[in-house]
Amino acid sequence: MKIFGKTTVSEFLGDFIVYRNLMPLDPRLPGLDALRGHVGLPAGRLPRKSEADYARVIVHLLQRARALDAPDTSIERLIYVGDTRLNDGNAFANLCQAAGWPGIACIGRESDKPAHVEITAVDSASSPQAAPVGHDPENTPTLYLANRWSALADLDHFCADRGFPIDAQTAIVVDLDKTALGARGRNAHVIDQVRVLAVRHTVADLLGDAFDESAFRDAYAQLNQSEFHPFTTDNQDYLAYICLILGSGLYDLEEIVRDVRAGRLTHLTQFIAQVEERADAMPPALSSVHGEIYANVRAGDPTPFKSFRLNEYRATVNHMGQLGNDASAEELLAQEIVITQEVRAQALEWRARGALLFGLSDKPDEASVPGDALAAQGYAAIHRTETHALGQA
């Protein structure tokens, strides 16, 4: 593993990036509200990454982005780089279907097993199937599943061998979280640690002397398991809020676990409504925070716990590029969120050929982009924050 100095994700993606709110960072591109009529999206609806509505928005943004720097060029094919077969695979298949483009997606991770690449054809967003004999990637979306990030360079040869050119008519969509930054299987654990740190910091600050470190870690570890995702919808805002309520003593962990397993507690909206009924028993400061979150949840805000997301943003940028240039690769991988050099190098190569580069992140904007006050202090969006690039030469 080699260190390639410090850089930013914007080096290869610029501001052609959207975070969860689907508000492009490049001001030349239209925001979600301006696109609703074009893609048939109702007011107030914010689709998530694996949904067909999300794909229609992104296809429109890709076409608008291409028109900005190559106005006489149309997109004819798609390359997608991500880290999860299910979520990224579905997002990729939806993009191909929404635009009618052929596509190839590299889904990568680092593994200690022997290097292996599996090629599958995608017949639908939810049903990847083994590639049939004579499969033609020019016609059918294809998954290129690799257990080495270095296999991304081989994807280039794979495309060339199959007559799938990567040029100005190609859109390259790059997932940010655990792909371009904090590569899955290599550096992703630092992203996870930062999120836990932000939840802990938020809950501890609000509870003060009542904060119980051991009880918090027990609650977070259990409720963050997939068994409880139907209840929390795997939303870290919801999980942070639940941990806060547990720390206040208004509920106990065993009670929540028992009610979820018995089917009496099925969604956070049900839980927060029950907390609202007991709000009079809360200290004033905690009641105020609960009231803000309760109002945001009722308004349909997917990131209702704003102070938690602010802490997540700070914790994230504080774990980017903070180690000195004398740090070893092992130290960087253990303590810093680093840029995946294989993704960076290939993206720069593709951009040099004229391909359109565009980044996607499902991380909330509140945890990714500084507000005006922090920006005035010199803070930058995550994709414009310097950190080390690390990977195979």
Q: In 100-228, which residue ranges form alpha helices assigned H by DSSP?
A: 151-161, 188-207, 213-223
Confidence grade of residue 279 (pLDDT, cut at 50, 70, 90): confident
Q: Which residues pair with 105 in a beta bridge?
A: 80, 143
pLDDT at position 139 is 60
pLDDT at position 285 is 86
Going by the DSSP 8-state scheme, the letter that residue 22 receives in this structure is -
pTM: 0.92
Mean pLDDT of the chain: 93
Q: What is the pLDDT of residues 332-354, one digit of tens each?
A: 999 999 999 999 999 999 999 99
282 plus 369 within the same structural domain: no
With b meaning 16 or more CB within 10 Å and e meaning fewer, what string describes 141-173? bbbbbbbbbebbeebbebbeeeebebebbbbbb
Q: What is the pLDDT of residues 89-130, one digit of tens each?
A: 999 999 999 999 999 999 999 999 999 999 998 854 444 444
Q: Strand 142-146 vs strand 128-130: parallel, antiparallel, or unpaired? A: unpaired
What contacts 34, CB < 8 A, 6 or more positions away? none
pLDDT at position 357 is 98
Note the residue count of the chain: 393
Q: Is 284 exposed, middle or buried (0-12, 13-18, 19+ CB in 10 A)?
A: exposed
Q: What is the pLDDT of residues 294-336, one digit of tens each?
A: 999 998 898 999 999 999 999 999 999 999 999 999 999 999 9
Share above pLDDT 70 across residues of the chain, in percent, rounded to a whole number: 96
22 plus 162 within the same structural domain: yes
pLDDT of 65 strictly over 60: yes
328 domain residue, yes or no:
no
71 plus 176 within the same structural domain: yes
Residue 125, domain extent: 2-186+338-391
Last residue of a domain, one of 279, 313, 347: 313
Last residue of a domain, one of 296, 313, 330: 313
Last residue of a domain, one of 278, 313, 348: 313
109 plus 159 within the same structural domain: yes
pLDDT at position 125 is 41
Average pLDDT for 198-213: 95
290 plus 385 within the same structural domain: no
227 plus 87 within the same structural domain: no
325 domain residue, yes or no:
no
17 plus 149 within the same structural domain: yes
